[in-house]
Chains A and B, each alone.
Chain A
Amino acid sequence: EPEVTQTPSHQVTQMGQEVILRCVPISNHLYFYWYRQILGQKVEFLVSFYNNEISEKSEIFDDQFSVERPDGSNFTLKIRSTKLEDSAMYFCASSGVRGRVYGYTFGSGTRLTVV
């Protein structure tokens, strides 16, 4: 079964450092997403990306965050200057061969720990 692959599985970074989380979406999907889950809390939408541009972002997704699809296979989330409160699981998802919710698949996540 097709998978969304995320690397690394766990990243520890110092406060103020830049971090890049990487994702390889399912190959024929058209829509790409990032969500985050603070420990013990619900999954929250950050951003969606389609046709090489952001289609929607939440209030969490401020100027410290950016997304990019640098080539035909990768989708990245960059946090420019990490804060302690950025510590969370970050999930990439992809969807949309036949519609945005069709085949909506999450990766296993990257646990980001900011110290």
Chain B
Amino acid sequence: QQQVKQSPQSLIVQKGGISIINCAYENTAFDYFPWYQQFPGKGPALLIAIRPDVSEKKEGRFTISFNKSAKQFSLHIMDSQPGDSATYFCAASRYNFNKFYFGSGTKLNVKP
């Protein structure tokens, strides 16, 4: 059972454009939704996270939008830069539980 579905698999965006990555989850008990950024050869690094009591969270150029009724959340990267080129994973968890369920990842390529 795929607990978290992520799309697209890959994304090419021009420098300065907006990158949008979408995730959908199944388990309504999930209440913590982080996004991780992973560069080649490195571990996932927490980028931004949201809990379902808010519909949007913004940190710099990164915004999570959350739709509880649709069980969907998305990452928006504004003014995308070549340095943002990485693989992005959404994840979900119950806040006081042990583990994350990860999406399948989106490879973002920001062209100069």
Contacts and interface: CB of A to CB of B under 8 A. Distances in A.
Interface string A71-115: 000000000000000000001010000011100111111000000
> Does more than half of chain B's interface fall in helix, strand or loop, or is it mixed?
loop
Contacts of B100: 43, 45, 104
Interface residues of A, number: 24
B89 A43 contact: yes
Contacts, number: 56
Interface residues of B, number: 22
A41 to B, nearest CB: 7
Given A43-B89, A101-B32, A108-B43, 12 more contacts: A42-B103, A44-B102, A45-B100, A56-B98, A91-B43, A100-B98, A101-B95, A104-B34, A104-B46, A106-B43, A106-B45, A108-B41
Interface string B45-62: 110000000000000000
